Structure 1
């Protein structure tokens, strides 16, 4: 992966963020794709910009985006863009800051470039495989927190079993919550449900390159460009507490997976 390509991806993502920022807190159309699944016209505008600009960088790469009809031909591609034009659309629509443009380049199932642009927060995150993770020009590292007790979790409320955790600010964007772990601003993020690859692909690389431990909710390795483009949750933590977090959540994860069959299954 060349530095030139990574820089170009950062530039494209920043332009997409600027477009979203220009429309933020203005009057735009919004609706629900399904109950509880909001979308707005800005999602589609940003998606169009990203597809045109990223497609020009790598014409042979496949495409997977929340706002584009899936094309099974992506499964044969060695490289694929995995994109969420606005991760955290709910916050975007409500005029809150917890949203980001998320772009990842996947090679043979793993992210090799990941970029998050969060202009409402004044943040630009990026990582390249083997080259570290950055917020702006500052290299970031996951925290050295070593016990589950006191672990900082982006959450509004905690279950009774997890009241020994400490809550910190929770953006709607799961990508930004994972990035908080990467930067040492949080120690643990967990989702125990089926989710979409585009929500986490860029953030997973940023967290890995920052030294965080990242798996699915069951502690299994994550891979991308799967036929259904789904993963069962995510568990991103400071490295020293990942095993303990997985053990605490194991029974809940198994129960949740059993109660919710894989989408498309």
Structure 2
């Protein structure tokens, strides 16, 4: 194990606490759901999970910064310092409709680099994690994890292609390119949110793309995909997460051999 062993153990403790809160509220008849200013839903489970994680980090890592989807950046990280980035429930729309594909995402940054990621999907009975230089793993908990690895597929005609939604690609002006990739692929499915990236890391599919994300959507996914041997960039080919703001992030994640082809089809020049 690398120098992030203690942080990874803590991340699992955070996930255990988050899972206890979220599973108790999943499919609850009294679940409260409101709309945020951007019209996306937020449930009482989202806010409760983030509060629980914040309380634990305040105790165990009081010197670290923290950015959460629901309560923002508090405390801020020191310049170039450590910062935890948390999405309390990724897949809230699934959560509030009773679909079991949702997860808590936990990442640790050193400066601008994500060095640790953990994804916990308790309704699926599955957890994925990675730390820089330590490989990627999946399993029920830290003690029972097994290594995961991306596929070796080299031709798009043999590849399973995954995307978030066609609407997003239409708004990004790349719907025709996405549809052509779907035609040229062996198989295409829209698993969405964190799940496509985790299936990629496990070698169950070969490409996952999204045109617009927030930092908390992607932070935990990058170390898992890359430590599993995959490649993760934005649409301009820059190592993810990249962008001029927290809500201006895009993603092309592949098993590696397919990355150049997908980037050529969907990519855009880097902003000057």
TM category, shorter: 0.7 to 0.9
Q: CA RMSD in A?
A: 2.3
Q: 8 Å contact 1:191–1:233 — kept in the other structure?
A: yes
Please list, as runs of the form range in 1=range in 2, the aligned pairs for 1:220-231 lying within 5 A after superposition: 220-223=238-241, 228-231=245-248
Cα deviation, residue 231, structure 1: 4.1
> Runs of 5+ in structure 1 lacking a partner?
259-265
Q: Does 1:76 align with 2:96?
A: no
Q: Higher mean Cα deviation, 33-42 or 232-241?
A: 33-42
Alignment length (residue pairs): 250
Answer whether contact 1:145 1:187 (CA < 8 A) is retained.
yes
Q: Which residue of 2 aligns with 1:211?
A: 229
- Gap regions ≥5 residues in structure 2: 140-144, 167-174
Q: Deviations over 1:209-258 (max 9, x none)?
A: 0000001122112247x8832343111001100011100112xx46xx99
Task: Indicate the residue corresponding to 2:200 in structure 1.
Answer: 181
Residue 117 of structure 1: which of 112, 116, 120 is its match?
Answer: 120
Q: Secondary structure at the match of 2:66?
A: strand
Report the CA distance between 1:72 and its aligned residue. 8.3
Corresponding position of 1:263: none
- Which residue of 132, 156, 164 maps to 2:184? 164
Q: Quickly say closer, same or farther: Cα 1:64–1:239, change in 2 above 3 A.
A: same
Work out the CA distance in 1 between the residues paired with 2:104 and 2:75: 24
SS of the residue corresponding to residue 126 of structure 1 reads: strand
Change (3 A) 1:227 1:58: farther
The ranges of structure 1 where at least 4 consecutive aligned residues each deviate by more than 6 angstroms after the TM superposition are: none
- State the shift of 1:15 in Å: 2.0
Tell me what 2:14 maps to. 12
* Preserved contact between residue 216 and residue 231 of structure 1 (Cα < 8 Å): no
CA apart distance, 1:33: 0.4
TM-score by structure 1 length?
0.87
User: How many angstroms apart in 2 are the aligned matches of 1:203 and 1:125?
Assistant: 9
